[in-house]
Amino acid sequence: MTMTNQFLTLVLAVLSIVVAVSASTTHTTSSSSSSSDNSTSNSIPTPTITIGKDRNGVAVQMPLLGAGTWQYNDTTAYQSVCRAVEAGYTLIDTAYGYQNQVGVGLALNDCWFGSATATAAVRDDLFVLTKVPGGLSYEATMAAHYQNLWELQLDYTDHLMVHFPSDWQQHNTGKHQRQEQWRALEQLYQLGKTRSIGISHYCSQHIDDILEIATIRPTLNQVEYHVGSHDVDDVIQKCTRENIYFMSFSPLCGPCQYQPEDSLVNGNLVQDIASHYPNKTGAQVALRFIVQQALEGRVTMAGVIPKSNNPKHIATNQDIFDFTLTQEDMQRLEDAVKPPGEPGDCNVP
């Protein structure tokens, strides 16, 4: 596809989303209003961690909880991000490969910048995390992130990851490919197009490939992690040893296959533990299990990015910082083996 055709395609995509969003505005507003009586307001600010420094030496502060957008189309991503922003979220997670960044960008423009004066302070309060596909050349990586910025309507992102240690089909892979792509991320960092850089789905050997040549070390590695998964392939321990923050995706095991009693939303274990804490749900227990490890500093844990387009769930997912799980309950959650984690990324050559 030529650059002109790609640009026209994106323009048409933007126009279609604007029409869809306009048509659904009344429905979205009424849905938010009708559920507001049932949603939980979070009165405690989301804690942050310092994951590194940007090219100017300014600390990069990342919230321990954000809003995910995986599997959402542009229209749903727009609605979800707007609802998350209205609920007080400041971290938004997306990716080139999600094919929804036009919707995310429109949501940020309308519901973040459009709700206040668009000053530097307002942008500084926002944390946008995105990704470029794995398996790309240096030039293609640079182009992909400039495409990210165009779609998101931003001058820079707060964090940029390589999404996978190869392309999804594992055709373009290997140590030298990963190193070439990492050099492109370092250049984007030096140009100020992202404030920090990292990786996703990387196992120990993939991390070693990057560290062998890195002049700027990765600050995050985003990998599936939840109650029951344990440290699949010992990636958490590897990240801890290398002082790389480990960030959980799918903290409620959304794409997992499991029996209803093992659900991390309303399964037996999380529901039983939730009964020990007033007005808390099983999902809140499962999310708290991860962020409490970050707050206790036992490992270099970097929080969670649950996904929802339901205003009530968006609010309750955020309301996990006003209680502390006992050590007994933490141990029960640590000992759980269901739903199990899914190993496999370490097979990428």
Q: How confident is the model at residue 1 (pLDDT cuts 50, 70, 90)?
A: very low
Inform me whether the pLDDT recorded for 322 exceeds 80: yes
Positive or negative: CA dihedral 13, 150, 184, 304: negative
Tell me the CA distances in angstroms from 68 to 8, 65, 85, 119, 136, one per residue in order.
28, 10, 12, 25, 24
Q: How confident is the model at residue 11 (pLDDT cuts 50, 70, 90)?
A: very low
The CB-side HSE value for 149 (13 A sphere, CA atoms) comes to: 16
In a domain, 38, yes or no: no
What is the overall mean pLDDT for the chain? 89
In a domain, 23, yes or no: no
Between 135 and 40, the more confident residue is: 135
Q: CA-CA distance, 131 to 348, in Å (whole number)?
A: 19
Nearby residues of 275 by Cβ (< 8 Å), 6 or more positions away: none
Q: How many domains does the chain divide into?
A: 1
Q: CA-CA distance, 83 to 74, in Å (whole number)?
A: 14
- Reported as a single tens digit per residue, the pLDDT across 258-296 is 899 999 999 999 999 999 999 999 999 999 999 999 999
In a domain, 260, yes or no: yes
In a domain, 314, yes or no: yes
- The amino acid sitting at 14 is V
Domain range spanning residue 210? 49-347
> Which helix (DSSP H) or strand (DSSP E) does residue 246 occupy?
strand 245-249
**Helix (H, G, I), strand (E, B), or coil: what is residue 131?**
strand
A 10 A CB-CB count for 107 gives 28
Inform me whether the pLDDT recorded for 134 exceeds 50: yes
Note the pTM of the prediction, 2 decimals: 0.88
- Reported as a single tens digit per residue, the pLDDT across 96-109 is 999 999 999 999 99
A 10 A CB-CB count for 226 gives 25
- Find the helix packing angle between 311-318 and 74-87, rounded to 10°: 50
Q: Could you say which of 98, 156, 225, 245 is catalytic?
A: 98
In a domain, 141, yes or no: yes
Between 121 and 2, the more confident residue is: 121
The pLDDT of residue 161 is 98
The pLDDT of residue 298 is 77
Q: CB–CB of 318/63 below 8 Å?
A: no
In a domain, 24, yes or no: no
Task: Identify the CATH number of the domain in which residue 158 sits.
Answer: 3.20.20.100
**Beta strand 48-53 pairing with 59-63:** antiparallel
Lowest mean pLDDT among 13-27, 50-64, 133-147, 188-202: 13-27
Between 214 and 299, the more confident residue is: 214
In a domain, 40, yes or no: no
In a domain, 12, yes or no: no
The pLDDT of residue 109 is 96
**Has 98 been annotated as catalytic?**
yes
